[in-house]
């Protein structure tokens, strides 16, 4: 029997820390991969109990912001494997291409989805692609959700890529996974725009040296201003927990 994927449990979350190849893409019922554990989303989860429960109930919670990995190093002496959104997308769409399978893109605008579909047709010719652009609103109605689910289930994809804003995409994937006739639902957010070319992509080199966040500040300073409070809350909590552990008798 194949071993369960490695995880690191830290600061209340069980974080995937293994090779993405260990995640099956054809099994039912549908499982969720959320590329969502980061300093920002940790801070956001402390103010949003529903989001916290969603992250805890995610089948495969993947490291997004690399600095959350500091929690594993400081508190458990374990590093967390880096599998950020672009890496996750590239891995799974290649696997589907190798199997001549299907992927479904849920989210963003029709314009972005058309560009994604065109690029995917060139780069992954063995993948059958379908898309759906949901309405832009803070919360979906039952009818909105029914239309999204029906569109996915008619197609029966191996993988559903969900590209909405956090925490909406994570909540949607976990809440509706049991209704989806798909192998995986994977929330990848901003990757939709990067892949479509509607937003400048950060060069992989900067992610490799763990400085992607710095480039993102220059490209989109409004995100930095919006997220800085949540990020500082993560580092504050990490510092408090680290000090508490150091004070405990050995």
**Intervals of the chain under pLDDT 50:** 1
Annotate 240-250 with b (16+ C-beta within 10 A) or e (fewer): eeeeeeeeeee
Each residue of 206-245: pLDDT tens digit?
566 555 655 555 555 555 566 788 889 999 999 999 998 8
What is residue 80's predicted lDDT score, i.e. its pLDDT? 93
pLDDT for 219 equals 58
For residue 12, give the DSSP letter: T
Query: How far is the C-alpha of 174 from the C-alpha of 246, rounded, in Å?
Result: 36
Q: Which pair of structure tokens corresponds to residue 61? A: 């919670």
DSSP state of 127: -
Residue 234: the pLDDT is 93
Q: Could you read off the pLDDT of 169-194 as tens digits, one per residue?
A: 999 999 999 999 999 999 998 899 99
Q: Using CA atoms, how far apart are residues 181 and 239, in angstroms rounded to an integer?
A: 43
- The encoded tokens of residue 202 equal 């950060």
Give me the pLDDT at residue 144, please. Answer: 98
The pLDDT value recorded for residue 18 is 96
For residue 98, what pLDDT is reported? 98
Residue 3 carries which DSSP code? Answer: P
């Amino acid at each position: 029997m194949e071993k369960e994927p490695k995880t690191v449990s830290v600061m209340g979350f069980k974080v995937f820390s293994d090779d993405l190849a260990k995640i099956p893409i054809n099994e039912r019922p549908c499982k969720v991969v959320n590329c969502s554990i980061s300093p920002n989303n940790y801070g956001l989860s402390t103010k949003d109990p529903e989001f916290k429960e969603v992250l805890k109930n995610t089948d495969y919670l993947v490291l997004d912001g690399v600095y959350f990995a500091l929690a594993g190093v400081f508190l458990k002496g374990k590093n967390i494997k880096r599998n950020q959104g672009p890496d996750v997308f590239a891995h799974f769409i290649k696997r589907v291409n190798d199997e001549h399978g299907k992927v479904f893109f849920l989210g963003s605008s029709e314009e972005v989805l058309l560009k994604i579909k065109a690029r995917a047709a060139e780069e992954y010719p063995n993948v059958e692609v379908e898309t759906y652009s949901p309405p832009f609103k803070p919360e979906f109605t039952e009818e909105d959700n029914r239309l999204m689910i029906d569109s996915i289930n008619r197609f029966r994809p191996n993988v559903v890529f969900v590209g909405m804003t956090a925490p909406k995409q994570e909540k949607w994937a976990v809440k509706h996974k049991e209704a989806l006739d798909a192998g995986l639902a994977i929330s990848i957010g901003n990757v939709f725009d990067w892949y479509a070319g509607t937003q400048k992509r950060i060069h992989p080199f900067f992610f490799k040296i763990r400085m992607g966040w710095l480039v993102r500040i220059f490209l989109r300073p409004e995100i930095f201003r919006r997220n800085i409070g949540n990020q500082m809350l993560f580092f504050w909590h990490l510092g408090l927990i680290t000090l508490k552990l150091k004070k405990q008798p050995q």
